[in-house]
Amino acid sequence: MESLKEWAKPFLADDNKDIMPTLFVGHGSPMNAIEENNYTRAWKTIGDAVERPKAILVVSAHWLTRGTFVTAMEKPRTIHDFGGFPRQLFETEYPAPGSPEFAQLTKQQITLANIELDHEWGLDHGTWSVLIKMFPKADIPVYQLSIDYTKPLSWHFELAKELAFLRSKGVLVMGSGNVVHNLRMVNFNEKGGYDWAIDFDERVKEYLLGDRLQELVNFEKLGKGALLSIPTTEHYIPLIYTMGLKQENENTSFPVEGMDLGSISMRSVMFS
Q: Where are the domains of the chain?
A: 15-271
Using one digit for the tens of pLDDT, what is the confidence trace for 213-265? 999 999 999 999 999 999 999 999 999 999 999 999 999 999 999 999 999 99
- Please state the pTM of the whole predicted model: 0.92
3-class DSSP state of 212: coil
How far apart (Å, rounded) are the C-alpha atoms in residues 111 and 158? 11
Using one digit for the tens of pLDDT, what is the confidence trace for 177-226? 999 999 999 998 877 899 999 999 999 999 999 999 999 999 999 999 99
Please say if the pLDDT value at position 4 is more than 80: no
Which H/E stretch holds residue 55? strand 55-65
The pLDDT assigned to 5 comes to: 45
Please say if the pLDDT value at position 18 is more than 90: no
The CATH classification number of 15-271 equals 3.40.830.10
In total, the chain counts a number of residues equal to 272
The pLDDT assigned to 83 comes to: 86
Please say if the pLDDT value at position 16 is more than 90: no
Amino acid letter at 178?
Answer: N
